[in-house]
Amino acid sequence: MKTDAPPLSGVRVLDFGHVLAAPFCTRLLADLGADVVRVESSRHPDFPWPSSYRHSDGRHASYLNTNRNKRSVAIDLKHPAGRDVARRLAVAADVVVENFSAGVMTRLGLGYETLKETNPRLIFASMSGYGNSGPRRDWTSMNMNLQGYAGLMQVTGAEGDPPTAISNSWNDYIGGLHTGYAIIGALTERQSTGQGVHLDIGQFECSVSMIAPLLLFSAVKQRNPERMGNRSTRSAPQGVYRCAGEDEWCAVSVRDDGQWRALAAAVADAGLADETRFATLPGRMRHHDEIDERIEAWTSRLPGDEVEARLKQAGVSAARMRRVRDLVEGEEPSGAYRRMTEPRVGSMLTTALPVELSESPLPPASPAPALGQHTREVLREWLDLPDGEWAALDGQGALV
């Protein structure tokens, strides 16, 4: 049945997140219609990774993108009155999300055990590098450290390369995705039980969960998996081949013998199709280097878009390498991003939730808030706070 309301309409989320992991999680919830309120303070501003754009208020483009569709309240959590306001907001919330180091929220008097006494329906999501319990709970975590400890750097890149990290803050995004998924599951469960829950989510475990086949390989074979680079154990040939022009490439993956015959026919090398040693996957794996040389002898004479077009027409999986700028300036429509009005920028490109729901709308993108932009508004809506009390708190320095 169609509805005019987004899926998470009416769900209140109190966001104590900073930098990327928790803010990305809560942005996913905001994209689904939740009322996400960031708890921030000028005493401890949240300025995530620098980017080419930075506004006079310190907000980088990365902040503007990650925190769109949210509201902001300014509360000094080091101030006793500020902590009291935060606790009252948590009582009015459905979900609290935080990604401080283990134990910080408890020391502030805002831990789950304290908050659930006055809000037993509260879903409290703790996001830290290694979780809030266990022998690693006090470890400091950064994206690269987590990738190294989770085994990811041992399986990225090619044999002989130094350990290689996945760029673009892999652990923060993976942790945010897992936590958003867990929160939606907890909201569903609460409809039956009427009870909230504490979700303790470590980015380490989230990262390890994404390499399950490699864990299984190591358990069965009793050895580390090989670093494959651009190659595969199930497709051959597979690689990125140089094309005509400066730094132009095309990614090609042949998944079965039929695609191999199609590629051999497309490549101007009559001998490829006739070579019986290349006819099956095991043979192509053994002679991968030679096949790569012969494919690249053909691709290097043609522009990448022509290589892509010829192989696609032949039924071979192929895609020219595009740069991020190509994605932005491409002519084809994309649901991956959209433009929104951003008062600090004018018109801003922002990534979108890559989902379309047939029965309910998603809210339009709205700009990230200025620090404390909605303090008075949220305290009035969530707490029914009278103007006199707001003025008193402001005068005490609790709302900064």
Q: What is the pLDDT of residues 284-297, one digit of tens each?
A: 999 999 999 999 99
Write the CB contacts of 34 (distance below 8 Å, at least 6 apart in sequence): 8, 9, 11, 12, 13, 26, 95
Rounded CA separation 203/104 (Å): 17
Strands (E), the chain: 12-15, 35-40, 71-74, 95-98, 123-128, 197-202, 238-243, 248-253, 317-320, 337-342, 346-351
DSSP 213-242: HHHHHHHHHSSPPPPBTT--SS-SSEEEEE
Question: Contact at 8 Å (CB) between 250 and 243?
Answer: yes
- What pLDDT sits at residue 56? 60
* Cα pseudo-dihedral 302, 307, 313, 315, rounded to 10: 140
Mean pLDDT of 322-337: 74
Report yes or no on whether pTM surpasses 0.85.
yes
Confidence tier at 4 by pLDDT (50, 70, 90): confident
- What pLDDT sits at residue 354? 83
The pair of structure tokens assigned to 234 is 């199930």
Question: Contact at 8 Å (CB) between 281 and 231?
Answer: no
Mean pLDDT of 137-155: 79
The pair of structure tokens assigned to 363 is 């809210």
Q: Which is the catalytic residue, given 172, 257, 289, 387?
A: 172
Q: Is 138 noted as a catalytic residue in this protein?
A: no
Domains and CATH numbers, the chain: 12-210+335-396 (3.40.50.10540), 238-321 (3.30.1540.10)
Question: Contact at 8 Å (CB) between 52 and 348?
Answer: no
Mean pLDDT of 162-189: 91
Q: What is the pLDDT of residues 253-279, one digit of tens each?
A: 999 999 999 999 999 776 888 889 999
The pair of structure tokens assigned to 386 is 């009278």
Q: What is the pLDDT of residues 30-83, one digit of tens each?
A: 999 999 999 999 888 776 555 555 556 556 777 888 999 999 999 999 999 999
% of the chain with per-residue pLDDT over 90: 55
